């Protein structure tokens, strides 16, 4: 019951604004004459449950929001907004600072929520007026107004510009303190005023992860002067992932081991699936449904699946978890997501297999470990891979990758991973591998290298591990007669990779080189293929997933 007072409290905060008394409510008809281009929207309360998948920690939350799907001008025209809004940080940015925290001596790591984040920002731009529910009307409004509108003074959730206003406010505050945003890393702020200390803030809407050495607590205190934040605490649950961080000191070095845990999230997803499907879950060795004969497959593909109405819901739950902490789901989730619009009985079969596996494998978790002793030997290793025409539902190959920061004695921290269909059909394996390699290097490896070099203030060498010899020869030469048929966009991949691997690094930059890897040891297999049980178990071990 206490949490349900959040919305009225938020309204009290709006009323306490100095301009509240100056902005008297007025009739909609008056606004049409005086400000025909002003925006008009409806404000209303919503109530939800935070941490729904974790019953002991469930929390009712109330919030005032704007109906952003129905904002018009006072004259009745649809309001227009910028196409691009504020972009939150990625989970890869969070993992990057976890890796930095593990290898830098004297580092500290904190988590905090910005209190009622949007309401901290002034509403700027085109004036917006809102209609309030009649239950919120002061008594003296009753009988005095027919259609009162109030000026929106603070940014609210739901307004298309609300996120921009909040992002601008906290961004301006961090820039004022000397933070910069690395190119390509949205909502990631780095402060390095001297070689002796570095501070990194990673912001996802109102959730802050803060890492730093030396002056981090001093800087956090300065930020809190103008930004309302909860007291900084140890990192635990962030974007649905519970981080179990263990540190121990031996022989003068500090070893950090991190477990990325989403067991409660997936347990809730499994229970949800069972309730929706009404099916019983059995124990299976992999999340991949076995191949069936062509006649049986045709029969299944011809019928609409029983889970068609719930497919998007069930697949999206898996997709989020795969991005956050269960990399081995990337391939099957990528393929299932492409079937949502044409869901069949075969889709039912494949989805059911995933949930059967999850039900008995929730104790398999992603882990990472690094030590301060790894500081001098750190390197980024990318494992791009491709599966030529491996999906029987499509001729396009699947690209996949795994990116990690590696130290000594087999230690390493997973940073990023993914699986995605290629843009057009590849005609042989080397072509598919080159396309996958280029996407991995361009979009994942080089940006991560730049971010870590900025944080560490030293070069970080990179290795691209490729298991296809023909692909290595092609990118080393920069051209391949066997690939002269490639469309322009894919032919550019060859030249791009050739330049990256042969260029001399600039001062402060690490070298990037391609190396041959054995297929049996390649970590990319888990992101491109539906593996049989023995290979799947080995793939889990390679990407640092275990019980």
User: Along the 547 residues of the chain, how does pLDDT read in single tens digits?
Assistant: 223 333 445 555 545 544 444 445 777 778 888 888 999 999 999 998 888 777 888 888 888 999 998 999 988 888 888 765 667 778 999 999 999 999 999 999 999 999 989 999 999 989 999 999 998 888 888 888 888 999 999 999 999 999 999 999 999 999 999 999 999 899 999 998 777 789 999 999 889 999 998 889 999 999 999 999 999 999 999 999 999 999 999 888 999 999 999 999 999 999 999 999 999 999 999 999 999 999 999 999 999 999 999 999 999 999 999 999 999 999 999 999 999 999 999 999 999 999 999 999 999 999 999 999 999 999 999 999 999 888 878 888 999 999 999 999 999 999 999 999 988 888 888 889 999 999 999 999 999 999 999 999 999 999 999 999 989 998 988 766 666 556 566 667 788 898 999 999 888 899 999 999 998 899 999 999 999 999 999 999 999 999 8
To the nearest 10°, the Cα dihedral for 225, 226, 228, 232?
-50
Separation CA 470–CA 63 (nearest Å)? 57
Contact (Cβ atoms closer than 8 angstroms) between residue 103 and residue 226: no
Which residue in the block uniquely carries the two structure tokens 């969070």? 94
Please enumerate in sequence order all residues whose Cβ is within 8 A of that of 7, keeping only pairs 6 or more positions apart, or say none: 45, 47, 62, 63, 64
Separation CA 147–CA 409 (nearest Å)? 71
Contact (Cβ atoms closer than 8 angstroms) between residue 451 and residue 188: yes
Separation CA 107–CA 110 (nearest Å)? 10
Contact (Cβ atoms closer than 8 angstroms) between residue 28 and residue 74: yes
Q: How many CB atoms lie within 10 A of CB 359?
A: 19
To the nearest 10°, the Cα dihedral for 127, 133, 137, 143?
100
* Residue 346 structure tokens: 């075969």
Beta strands, E only, 276-397? 365-371, 379-382, 385-387
Q: How many CB atoms lie within 10 A of CB 252?
A: 8
Contact (Cβ atoms closer than 8 angstroms) between residue 239 and residue 207: yes
The strand pairing partners of 110, in sequence order, are 210
Separation CA 525–CA 304 (nearest Å)? 31
* Residue 368 structure tokens: 């990472």
Residue-level pLDDT at 76: 87
Count of helices and strands (H, E) across the chain: 15, 21
Residue-level pLDDT at 523: 95
Closest to 12 (Cα-Cα) out of 119, 106, 158: 119
Angle at 292 between CA 333 and CA 322, to 5 degrees: 10
Contact (Cβ atoms closer than 8 angstroms) between residue 209 and residue 201: yes
Q: Which helix (H) or strand (E) holds 128?
A: strand 128-131
Separation CA 384–CA 465 (nearest Å)? 7
Residue-level pLDDT at 131: 92
pTM attached to this predicted model: 0.88
Q: With left for phi above 0 and alpha for psi between -120 and 50, is residue 3 left, alpha or beta?
A: alpha
Contact (Cβ atoms closer than 8 angstroms) between residue 181 and residue 189: yes
Residue-level pLDDT at 114: 93
The strand pairing partners of 212, in sequence order, are 108, 199
Q: How many CB atoms lie within 10 A of CB 68?
A: 17
User: How far apart, in Å, are the Cα atoms of 532 and each of 285, 294, 346?
Assistant: 8, 19, 19
Which pairs with CB-CB distance under 8 Å and at least 24 residues apart come from 79-83? 79/39, 79/126, 81/160, 81/161, 82/161, 82/164
Please enumerate in sequence order all residues whose Cβ is within 8 A of that of 199, keeping only pairs 6 or more positions apart, or say none: 179, 190, 191, 192, 210, 211, 212, 213, 215, 216, 219
Q: With left for phi above 0 and alpha for psi between -120 and 50, is residue 37 left, alpha or beta?
A: alpha
Angle at 174 between CA 171 and CA 177, to 5 degrees: 150
């Amino acid at each position: 019951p206490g949490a349900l007072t959040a919305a009225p409290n938020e309204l009290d905060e709006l009323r306490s604004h100095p301009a509240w008394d100056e902005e008297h409510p007025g009739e909609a008809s008056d606004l049409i004459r005086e400000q025909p281009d002003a925006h008009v929207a409806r404000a209303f309360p919503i109530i939800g449950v935070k941490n729904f998948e974790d019953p002991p920690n469930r929390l009712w939350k109330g919030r005032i929001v704007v109906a952003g799907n129905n904002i018009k001008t006072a004259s009745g025209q649809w309001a227009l907004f910028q196409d691009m809004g504020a972009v939150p940080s990625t989970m890869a940015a969070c993992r990057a600072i976890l890796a930095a925290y593990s290898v830098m001596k004297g580092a500290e790591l904190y988590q905090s929520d910005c209190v009622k984040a949007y309401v901290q920002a002034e509403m700027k731009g085109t004036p917006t007026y809102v209609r309030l529910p009649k239950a919120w009307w002061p008594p003296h409004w009753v009988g005095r107004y027919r259609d009162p509108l109030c000026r929106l003074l603070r940014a609210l959730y739901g307004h298309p510009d609300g996120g921009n206003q909040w992002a601008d406010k906290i961004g301006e505050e961090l820039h004022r303190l000397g933070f910069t945003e690395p190119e390509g890393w949205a909502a990631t702020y780095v402060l390095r005023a001297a070689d002796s200390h570095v501070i990194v803030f990673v912001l996802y809407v109102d959730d802050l992860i803060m890492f730093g050495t030396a002056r981090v607590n001093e800087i956090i205190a300065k930020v809190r002067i103008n930004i309302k934040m909860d007291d900084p605490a140890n990192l635990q649950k962030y974007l649905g992932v519970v981080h179990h961080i263990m540190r121990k000191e031996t022989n003068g070095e500090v070893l950090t081991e991190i477990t990325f845990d989403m067991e409660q999230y997936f347990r809730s997803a499994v229970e949800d699936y069972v309730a929706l499907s009404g099916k019983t879950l059995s124990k299976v060795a992999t999340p991949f449904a076995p191949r069936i004969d062509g006649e049986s497959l045709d029969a299944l593909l011809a019928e609409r699946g029983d889970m068609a109405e719930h497919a998007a819901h069930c697949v999206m739950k898996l997709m989020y978890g795969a991005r956050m902490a269960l990399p081995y789901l990337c391939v099957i989730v990528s393929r299932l997501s492409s079937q949502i619009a044409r869901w069949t009985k075969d889709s039912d079969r494949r989805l059911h297999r995933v949930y059967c596996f999850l039900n008995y494998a929730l104790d398999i978790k992603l882990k990472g470990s690094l030590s301060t002793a790894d500081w001098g030997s750190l390197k980024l290793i990318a494992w791009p891979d491709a599966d030529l025409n491996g999906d029987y539902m499509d001729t396009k190959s699947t690209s996949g990758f795994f990116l990690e920061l590696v130290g000594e004695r087999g230690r390493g921290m997973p940073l990023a991973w993914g699986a995605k269909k290629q843009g057009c059909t590849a005609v042989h394996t080397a072509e598919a591998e080159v396309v996958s390699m280029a996407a991995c290097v361009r979009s994942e490896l080089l940006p991560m290298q730049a971010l870590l070099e900025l944080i560490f203030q030293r070069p970080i060498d990179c290795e691209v591990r490729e298991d296809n010899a023909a692909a290595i020869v092609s990118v080393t030469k920069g051209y391949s007669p066997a690939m002269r048929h490639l469309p322009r966009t894919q032919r550019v991949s060859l030249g791009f990779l050739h330049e990256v691997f042969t260029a001399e690094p600039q001062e402060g930059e690490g070298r990037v080189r391609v190396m041959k890897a054995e297929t049996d040891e390649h970590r990319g297999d888990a992101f491109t293929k539906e593996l049989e049980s023995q290979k799947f178990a080995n793939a889990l071990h390679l990407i640092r997933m275990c019980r």
